[in-house]
Amino acid sequence: MSATFLYGQNEFVNGVRIHYLRYGGKGHPLILIPGITSPAITWEFVAERLGQVFDTYVLDVRGRGLSSSGPEHDYGTDVCAQDIVSFVQKLGLKEYSLMGHSMGARFAIRANELSNQGLTQLFLIDPPVSGPERRAYPSKLPWYVDSIQQAIQGMNSEDMKVFCPTWTEAQLQLRAEWLHTCYLPAIIQAFDDFHTYDIHQYISHIQVPTLLMVAGKGGVILPEDEQEIQQSNPNIQVKHVPQAGHMIPWDDLEGFFTVLGEYLGQKFN
């Protein structure tokens, strides 16, 4: 894998097995929560650079990757956020930061509400701002369902290019290899929660320094959404990656690390 990769491991927390990958091993602990159909391994190209600065833990959210899956489990926002809190407690982390992309950012917001003991900062990467009586999330459920069903049958990078035409060959290969591990009912529950779960009610309660990273070409967070969020919590700093769509590191990796580095006052090689 990468020079900063240490190992993969499993922990039993909140009644399920949570698998994670660890990078770096030194510095401030950072827990990374991927998006709706992104197993931990698909963030390897980002985590290897985060591991230069942070002691980085990338989680397989339940119902994805090598974490627990199946019909016996709940996949709602509340229980997935509790998984994060329980993971922190299981590892005995005294201080840590949370970075979440898309769905993972919503889980990070909810986790902060459940328990912010030891939490020092939040990095919210283009979270869906949809919810009850709000504008719908721009992606459509069939895009997820169709790609997962094809992955379950078997697909290669060329097949995946139909769904992700701008990605690199390596990114396409990883997604094609691992997408079948995304348990479809878990994905449907998460997508439904984008529209039925009000994550905005918790934004004003965030007290730690927070970066909201917005994709310039994503269409997920619009200027009026930024205005609403900053009115709700003036301590949240908004930064843009102009050339990126919603999958910011996939679309503009250097732009992602430029924004993150400027915010932190830290250079990533």
Checking if the pLDDT of 13 tops 50, the result is: yes
188 assigned to some structural domain = no
Whether residue 56 contacts residue 30, with contact meaning beta carbons closer than 8 Å, is answered with: yes
How many angstroms separate the first and last alpha carbons of the chain?
17
144-197: per-residue pLDDT in tens? 999 999 999 999 999 999 999 999 999 999 999 999 999 999 999 999 999 999
192 assigned to some structural domain = no
Six-digit token string for 43: 């963030």
**pLDDT (average), residues 55-69:** 98
149 assigned to some structural domain = no
Checking if the pLDDT of 1 tops 70, the result is: no
104-156: per-residue pLDDT in tens? 999 999 999 999 999 999 999 999 999 999 999 999 999 999 999 999 999 99
243 assigned to some structural domain = yes
29 assigned to some structural domain = yes
Number of domains in the chain: 1
Of 3 and 183, more confident: 183
- Give me the sheet containing 55-59, strands edge to edge: 5-13, 16-23, 55-59, 29-33, 96-101, 119-125, 210-215, 236-241
Q: From CA 151, how far away is CA 205, in angstroms rounded?
A: 39
Beta strand residue intervals within the chain, DSSP E: 5-13, 16-23, 29-33, 55-59, 96-101, 119-125, 210-215, 236-241
CATH (domain of 66): 3.40.50.1820
Return the percent helix, strand and coil in the chain, to nearest 5: 40, 20, 40
3-state secondary structure of 125: strand
Q: From CA 209, how far away is CA 202, in angstroms rounded?
A: 15
Tokens 């503009």 sit at which residue?
252
Whether residue 80 contacts residue 104, with contact meaning beta carbons closer than 8 Å, is answered with: no
For CA atoms 107, 202, 258, 214, give the dihedral sign: positive
Write out the residue range of the structural domain in which residue 209 sits: 5-135+197-264
Residue 269, pLDDT score: 83
28-54: per-residue pLDDT in tens? 999 999 999 999 999 999 999 999 999
Residue 2, pLDDT score: 55
Q: From CA 231, how far away is CA 229, in angstroms rounded?
A: 5
98 assigned to some structural domain = yes
90 assigned to some structural domain = yes
Checking if the pLDDT of 84 tops 50, the result is: yes
Please classify residue 234 by burial: count the beta carbons closer than 10 Å to its beta carbon, then call 0-12 exposed, 13-18 middle and 19+ buried.
exposed
28 assigned to some structural domain = yes
